[in-house]
């Protein structure tokens, strides 16, 4: 069986090799596909902190993805229309600067995660799943009826936002930015996992009463995990919006929440590289099966069923021969 460390290194190498090859072969479309996979992986890395480490089956992570997306959409919209955002006494100028947008997206998602977490973590199990799902719908319907920013039709941003000293319109440069964000998030998750917080969170997933008995509050641990998780997924949402130069209520859809969970399951729950492998496979399937048949979701459903019923631990579980954490 293959050690997980080796798999992790191969994944990073693969992520570097594909765009390099595409750059040399001048395959712009492959670079775009890779960017999509990298951003979805980033969103799923965020979810994996809540799901894999904290055992929180959030079926509403699209909320944070959408908030990140709309943070980008709203700021860029006010910048491209040269009309500042009036919030009561507050006047906020729009911006096209990625670092500022990312900061806003992350903070807004973290705050939303704090509120949703405080309410949802009062419950466990099926209740938690349904409540997070319902919060997703709340935001979905809200954005649909929010006509100031396009309502159901969404918002188009005409020019990709900018990053100091880079030309983000060049696909490979934008991919580089997304890749850097993904690596930072992976590093963050790795550090978290080995920290005192990670140790306690991992125990809180398995046996909350033990964690209480040693004097820690399992609910606070999970809430913090949920907030960090939401913030990362929010950042991914801002990048996704910039990739498409478009935001719409579908960024909040429950299907997207489901797909983020699927990415993790395909790769391996709670594994560092699980979301990355999952996203790579998902985007490849979407492109390849989608090219073969209009009904590729049937095959995605069948693959998912097989993984759930027979293949616990996803791809990494299969390759390492070790089951991952149970959620």
CB-CB contact of 263 with 275 (8 Å): yes
Q: How many residues does the chain have?
A: 327
Q: Does 305 bind other proteins (CB under 8 A)?
A: yes
Selected binder of other proteins within 135, 174, 179, 282 (CB under 8 A): 135
Nearest by Cα to 190 from 299, 271, 103: 271
Q: How many chain residues bind other proteins (CB under 8 A)?
A: 68
Is residue 326 near other proteins by the rule CB under 8 A?
Answer: yes
Q: Does 261 bind other proteins (CB under 8 A)?
A: yes
Report if residue 144 touches other proteins, rule: CB under 8 A. yes
Q: Which long-range contacts (CB under 8 A, 24 or more apart) does 13-16 make?
A: 14/280, 15/179, 15/182, 15/276, 15/280
Q: Please, what is the end-to-end C-alpha distance for the chain in angstroms?
A: 24
173 vs 217, which CB is nearer to other proteins? 217
- Contact indicator for 109, 64 with CB cutoff of 8 Å: yes
Q: CB of residue 137 vs other proteins: minimum separation in angstroms?
A: 5
- By CB under 8 A, is residue 301 in contact with other proteins? yes
Segment interacting with other proteins (CB under 8 A) among 39-47, 84-92, 189-197, 276-284: 189-197
Select from 147, 164, 292, 321 the one that contacts other proteins (CB under 8 A).
147
Tell me the torsion sign for CA atoms 88, 93, 96, 98: negative
Residue 1 in contact with other proteins, rule: CB under 8 A? no
- Is 146 or 287 the residue whose CB approaches other proteins more closely? 146
Residue 176 Cβ vs other proteins, minimum distance, rounded to whole Å: 25
**Binding flag, residue 291, other proteins (CB under 8 A):** no
* Neighbouring residues of 180: CB distance < 8 A, sequence distance ≥ 6: none
Residue 5 binds other proteins, judged by CB under 8 A: no
Enumerate the β-bridge partners of residue 92.
Answer: 85
For the segment 43-82, give every residue that binds other proteins (CB under 8 A): 51, 57, 59
Q: Mark the segment that binds other proteins (CB under 8 A) among 178-186, 192-200, 235-243, 274-282.
A: 192-200
* Cα–Cα distance, 32 to 287 (Å, whole number): 12
Angstrom distance (rounded) from CA 129 to CA 207: 19
Taking the C-alpha atoms of residue 229 and residue 227, their distance in angstroms, rounded to an integer, is 5
Q: Is 308 in the site for other proteins (CB under 8 A)?
A: yes
**Nearest CB to other proteins, comparing residues 84 and 301:** 301
Which one, 211 or 272, has the nearer CB to other proteins?
A: 211
Q: Does 145 bind other proteins (CB under 8 A)?
A: yes
Site track 13-42 with other proteins (rule: CB under 8 A), x = hit: ------------------------------
C-alpha dist (Å) from residue 268 to 73, 83, 97, 265, 273: 32, 46, 35, 5, 8
Q: Which of 225, 233, 272 is nearest to 256 (CA)?
A: 233
- 90 is an interface residue for other proteins by CB under 8 A: no
- Tokens 């509403």 locate to 60
Q: Which stretch binds other proteins (CB under 8 A): 17-25, 71-79, 102-110, 201-209?
A: 201-209
Query: CA quadruple 228, 233, 239, 245: dihedral positive or negative?
Result: negative
Where along the sequence are the contacts to other proteins (CB under 8 A)?
A: 51, 57, 59, 119, 122-127, 129-131, 133-135, 137-138, 141-142, 144-148, 191-192, 194-200, 202-203, 206-207, 209-217, 254, 258, 261-262, 265, 269, 295-298, 300-302, 304-305, 307-309, 325-327
């Amino acid at each position: 069986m293959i050690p997980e460390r080796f798999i992790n290194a191969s994944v990073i190498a693969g992520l570097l090799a594909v765009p390099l090859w595409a750059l040399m072969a001048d395959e712009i479309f492959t670079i775009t596909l890779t960017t999509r996979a990298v951003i979805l992986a980033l969103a799923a890395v965020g979810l994996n902190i809540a799901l894999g480490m904290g055992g929180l089956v959030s079926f509403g992570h699209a909320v944070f993805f959408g908030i990140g997306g709309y943070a980008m959409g709203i700021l860029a919209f006010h910048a491209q229309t040269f009309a500042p955002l009036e919030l009561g006494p507050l006047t906020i100028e729009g911006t096209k600067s990625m670092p500022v947008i990312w900061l806003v997206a992350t903070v807004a998602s973290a705050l939303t995660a704090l509120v949703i977490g405080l309410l949802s973590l009062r419950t466990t199990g099926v209740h938690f799943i349904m409540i997070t799902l319902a919060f997703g719908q709340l935001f979905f319907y809200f954005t649909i009826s929010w006509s100031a920013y396009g309502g159901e039709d969404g918002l188009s941003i005409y020019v990709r936002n900018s990053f100091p000293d880079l030309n983000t319109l060049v696909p490979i440069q934008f991919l580089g930015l997304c890749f850097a964000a993904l690596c930072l998030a992976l590093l963050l998750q790795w550090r978290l996992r080995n920290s005192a917080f990670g140790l306690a969170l991992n125990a809180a997933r398995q046996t909350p009463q033990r964690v209480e008995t040693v004097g820690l509050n399992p609910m606070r641990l999970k809430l913090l995990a949920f907030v960090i998780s939401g913030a990362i997924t929010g950042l991914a949402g801002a990048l996704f919006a910039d990739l498409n130069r478009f935001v719409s209520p579908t960024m909040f859809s429950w299907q997207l929440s489901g797909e983020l969970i699927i990415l993790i399951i395909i790769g391996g729950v709670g594994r560092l590289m699980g979301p990355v492998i999952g996203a790579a496979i998902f985007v490849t399937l979407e492109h390849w099966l989608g090219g073969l048949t209009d009904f590729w979701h049937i095959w995605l459903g069948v693959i998912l069923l097989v993984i759930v019923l027979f293949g616990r631990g996803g791809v990494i579980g299969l390759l390492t021969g070790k089951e991952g954490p149970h959620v």
